[in-house]
């Protein structure tokens, strides 16, 4: 197995596990908030904060999931009418633009996380850098998935003759 396949498979597995974990914990936390508030008349102070932080993780990792599965909204009406080689070329250009955007995003997100290390959340007293760590981590995942997709498109442009979209 090639090294790039191992990296992508590892990132995919890690991303899936974290997404499932966050979604499951978020459901449990929100359900417990309802139970404690309405049945015991005891509102929990940390539930809303934790669910908000889990939502941040789900959003950033969900972007990577969408990139990996090519499930984001895209305008392919005109691209599908192009020849297969032209489709691959348009996809490569699009991916290079995406990689440039993600690469631009990554240093700022990293600086933001470092700056947030001095701040703790109000209810849970968690370092905000832990909450926002998902931004640069997600950016790294986006770049990896987009590079893998670009490699597939370059391969289809020069060696294979199959439709991408």
Could you read off the pLDDT of 28-60 as tens digits, one per residue?
Answer: 999 999 999 999 988 888 999 999 999 999 999
Residue 127's DSSP bridge partners are 120
**pLDDT bracket for residue 115 (50, 70, 90):** very high
d(CA 15, CA 62): 9
User: CA geometry: angle at 49 spanning 44 and 54, to 5°?
Assistant: 120
d(CA 124, CA 30): 16
């Amino acid at each position: 197995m090639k090294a790039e396949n191992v990296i992508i498979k590892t990132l995919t597995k890690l991303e899936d596990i974290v997404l499932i974990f966050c979604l499951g914990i978020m459901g449990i936390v929100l359900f417990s908030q309802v139970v404690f508030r309405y049945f015991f008349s005891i509102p929990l102070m940390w539930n809303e904060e934790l669910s908000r932080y889990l939502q941040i993780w789900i959003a950033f990792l969900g972007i990577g999931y969408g990139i990996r599965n090519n499930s984001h909204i895209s305008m392919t009406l005109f691209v599908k009418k192009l020849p297969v080689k032209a489709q691959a070329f348009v996809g490569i250009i699009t991916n290079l633009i995406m990689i440039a955007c993600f690469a631009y995003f990554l240093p700022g997100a990293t600086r933001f996380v470092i700056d947030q290390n001095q701040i703790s959340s109000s209810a849970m007293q968690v370092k905000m850098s832990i909450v926002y760590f998902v931004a640069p981590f997600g950016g790294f995942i986006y770049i990896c998935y987009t590079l893998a997709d670009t490699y597939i498109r370059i391969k289809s442009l020069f060696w294979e003759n199959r439709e991408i979209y």
